[in-house]
Amino acid sequence: MIGKEIRVFSPATVSNVGPGFDVMGFAIHEPGDEVTVRLVPGRGVKLIKITGDSGQLSLNTHENAVSIPVKAMYERLDLDFQVEIELRKCMPIGSGLGSSAASAVGGIFALNEILEGKFPKEELLKFALQGERYTSGSNHADNVAACLYGGFVLVRNGPPLDIVPVSTPDNLVCTLVSPKIEVRTKEARKLLPKTVPLSVAVNQLGNAAAMVSGLMRGDMDVVGRAMEDLIAEPVRAKLIPGYDKIRQAALDAGAIGCHISGSGPSMFAFSEEEETAMRIGRAMKMVLEGLFISCSVYISRINTNGPRIIG
Amino acid sequence: MIGKEIRVFSPATVSNVGPGFDVMGFAIHEPGDEVTVRLVPGRGVKLIKITGDSGQLSLNTHENAVSIPVKAMYERLDLDFQVEIELRKCMPIGSGLGSSAASAVGGIFALNEILEGKFPKEELLKFALQGERYTSGSNHADNVAACLYGGFVLVRNGPPLDIVPVSTPDNLVCTLVSPKIEVRTKEARKLLPKTVPLSVAVNQLGNAAAMVSGLMRGDMDVVGRAMEDLIAEPVRAKLIPGYDKIRQAALDAGAIGCHISGSGPSMFAFSEEEETAMRIGRAMKMVLEGLFISCSVYISRINTNGPRIIG
């Protein structure tokens, strides 16, 4: 096995997705992480290089989302080689795009490919969740599952944990706008209420269920009306300067819905044509520029594959 | 128009449906109500006869679910005849089978048919809700919408109110067991918590969304695991003697899931074959008989039509 090397692209993901707080997510085609895993003589797991992180991430294997899952898998097996990992971050960190999930999935997926698919996806998910848990302090699998399985998924908290697919229309396009400000997932989580009024819980579950039916039937009118988050967005929107105006600009430009991606500050919008998606991106960006905040804009269809080998 | 008469069968409905508390419902083929609407000389709406109710229901048009919607429609129009209504209850009252919704929909559907479909379904729904609201004290449209639209629906609380269809596998069979004890919807509603922990709200919405995806894809394993109600069932189950044993008997007999229908005391179970559905019914009945409670058992596929003209 020594000498084997695999390079993987692991996609960014949008989680929460309006009413699907903590249970829904989908993968996109860009941005994402590139993870290289290489087998060399020796023992253990080593994180030898990180680029694109502006020095924000630790090379300590106990402290990085990419290496924690790889270490966990390594320790489960009796391996007679060292695993070297290189991580190239090609996406913003702490931006609500599932950065740690992309790293966690990329590393474990690459090692599993080298090991010729030794573990099934359910097991990879458990390993990857360990990396996600360390970085975000959350046990929620929405980003990790969407990244690993690809497509639009919903996570039914178990036991057992179910990753349930939700088919989406082929022409669905996602506009992602990632402002260059940071919102820590752990901080965003602290803002959440501990309890919610029964009526809010009922309306949220009605919206979530209606969104699933709408997506699966291609009824984007229903999806648009159901894309409402009554639980997290009301408190988290305050962390994003100009949130209401950005959202309104997206809707005015033709978005079916516009919400916070993950715990923010990135925001996503759905539309049905790439041209509309680009117009939405320009409109959202213009609001941010008016507030002297720069941002990255990504346009992508739903990525139904998840991670893929690129070298 | 005078002399015209239409008789309608209006189906019973199962609402809540596990995790779909207050938002999901489906219609079945039996039991149901029979409502006759007749135009005679005069003015106003008159409820002339009710049978099958053991004297429980009022002939006062202001106090009966069947006549309240008809009066509301009548008053909206300038009509030069009297509307006579006859109601034949062919289903238990206050049993969690949408008895008042069946009456409310039956009357308004019959009058609208006589008026050659003057009002669209969205309007009929609003009229019917007035009857439901009076009888159950609840504003929830899950029974009424399932009865009127037929099939499996979910109600997205608006504005605007959306009745969202959920397709179900053709072979899905429902076993309904209706114990001869009464649970008042208003009383059952008082037991509900005013707030729910965030984690419960999230798990419930994950289950509801997973159940929708499972039903639409015919993945009954996911449906079975997602059919869990963490909000209403824990408190309402106490109103049904032997609830845990009845449920376990249904599952042991092959049920995909077994839950309270509406606010109870009726319980429903899903399965994939009529033979299994009948075995489940016998098993549930046996537990009730051991507690000296008699019950009615109904076996039905999902009724995708809603109300239908029978004379």
Could you read off the pLDDT of A124-173 as tens digits, one per residue?
999 999 988 888 777 788 999 999 999 999 999 877 889 999 999 999 99
Mean pLDDT of chain B: 94
Which pLDDT does position A185 carry in this prediction?
A: 65
- Looking at the complex, report in whole angstroms how far the Cα of residue B216 sits from the nearest Cα belonging to chain A: 8
Residue to test with chain A: of B21, B163, B194, B205, most A Cβ within 10 A: B205
Which pLDDT does position B158 carry in this prediction?
A: 77
Which pLDDT does position B185 carry in this prediction?
A: 65
Q: Per-residue pLDDT averaged across B52-67, rounded?
A: 91
- With an 8 Å Cβ cutoff, are B162 and A210 in contact? yes
Q: Is the pLDDT of residue A235 over 80?
A: yes
DSSP string over chain B: -TT-EEEEEEEEEEESTTT-TTTEEEEEEEEEEEEEEEEESSSSEEEEEEESSTT-S---TTS-TTHHHHHHHHHHS--SSEEEEEEEE-S-TTSSS-HHHHHHHHHHHHHHHHTTS-S-HHHHHHHHHHHHHHHHS----HHHHHHHH-SEEEEE--SSPEEEEE---TT-EEEEEEESS---HHHHHHTS-SEEEHHHHHHHHHHHHHHHHHHHHT-HHHHHHH---SSSHHHHGGGSTTHHHHHHHHHHTT-SEEEE-TTSS-EEEEESSHHHHHHHHHHHHHHHHHTT--EEEEEEEB-SS-SEE--
Q: Whole-angstrom Cα distance, residue A160 to residue A156?
A: 8
How many Cα atoms within 13 Å fall on the side-chain side of residue B66? 35
- With an 8 Å Cβ cutoff, are A160 and B211 in contact? no
Looking at residue A215, its amino acid is: L
The residue extents of the domains of chain B are 5-166+304-309, 173-301
Which pLDDT does position A301 carry in this prediction?
A: 97
Q: Which of residues 143-162 of A touch B (CB under 8 A)?
A: 154-158, 160, 162
B127-148 tens-digit pLDDT: 999 988 888 777 788 999 999 9
Task: Please name the member of B197, B211, B216 whose beta carbon is closest to the beta carbon of A195.
Answer: B197
Q: Does domain A173-301 have CATH number 1.25.40.10?
A: no
Q: For the whole model, what pTM was predicted?
A: 0.94
- With an 8 Å Cβ cutoff, are A225 and B154 in contact? no
Q: Per-residue pLDDT averaged across B157-184, rounded?
A: 91
Highest mean pLDDT among A156-160, B27-31, B78-82: B27-31
A167-206 tens-digit pLDDT: 999 999 999 999 998 776 677 778 899 999 999 999 999 9
Q: Is the pLDDT of residue A286 over 80?
A: yes
Mean pLDDT of chain A: 94
C-alpha dist (Å) from residue A65 to A11, A104, A105, B43, B77: 14, 5, 9, 76, 67
Q: Which of residues 153-212 of A touch B (CB under 8 A)?
A: 154-158, 160, 162, 164-167, 192-198, 200-212
Which pLDDT does position B131 carry in this prediction?
A: 86
Domain B5-166+304-309: assigned CATH number: 3.30.230.10
Q: Per-residue pLDDT averaged across B212-238, rounded?
A: 95
A61-92 tens-digit pLDDT: 999 999 999 999 999 998 899 999 999 999 99
Answer with the residue of higher pLDDT: A158 or B233.
B233
Which pLDDT does position B16 carry in this prediction?
A: 94
Answer with the residue of higher pLDDT: A34 or B78.
A34
* Percent of chain A scoring above 90 in pLDDT: 84
Q: Is the pLDDT of residue B32 over 80?
A: yes
Q: Is the pLDDT of residue B188 over 80?
A: no
Which pLDDT does position B140 carry in this prediction?
A: 82
Q: Per-residue pLDDT averaged across A29-49, rounded?
A: 96
Q: Is the pLDDT of residue B184 over 80?
A: no
